[in-house]
Amino acid sequence: MRMTRQSNYAIRTLVYCAVNEPQLSRVAEIAKAYAISELFLFKLIKPLVENGLLQTVRGRHGGIRLGKPADQITLLDTIRLTEESFALAECFEEGADCPLIGECDLNSALREALGAFFDVLAGYTIADLASKKRSIRERLGLYDLDVPALAETQLAEI
């Protein structure tokens, strides 16, 4: 099983917003940081906004921010919104015509594996992924916006 680009960048966008708090994040800046198109980013943000994981703020100084605290957004929340299907085999799909459906141990094993996959994703939050805030901010080019850390440094020099 392979995660789609939509899921990958949706998670990256949520992490970006988490490490950029309390400032608003701008789509153009996120797209530049991850070297993806703004159009692609707008498309993947839409379901995140519709489901409360992100909020938009309109206007000249608008942008996006997390729709709820980072420690309340699990990876599973995001993956469920961005993946089209979790069919690990043909027999998972509706209308499959395998004569062994319901009696197949492969189907049972794959369902158990998928459940374990979901359990692991549910155990991680955006806060977990954003826990190395300073390092992530630097890698995303946000180091110059870290006003509280800058103020502390300047105070320490006085």
pLDDT in tens, 68-80: 999 999 999 999 9
Q: Tell the residue number behind the tokens 């379901």, with chain if given.
A: 47
Of 56, 60, 115, 106, residue with least CA distance to 13: 56
Q: What does the pLDDT read at residue 30?
A: 95
- pLDDT greater than 90 at residue 95: no
Distance, in Å, from the CA atom of 68 to the CA atom of 72, rounded to the nearest integer, reads: 7
**What type of residue sits at position 97?**
D
Distance, in Å, from the CA atom of 83 to the CA atom of 95, rounded to the nearest integer, reads: 20
CA 58, distance to chain mean position in Å, is 22
- Of 139 and 149, the one with more pLDDT: 139
- pLDDT greater than 50 at residue 128: yes
Q: What does the pLDDT read at residue 127?
A: 96
- pLDDT greater than 90 at residue 158: no
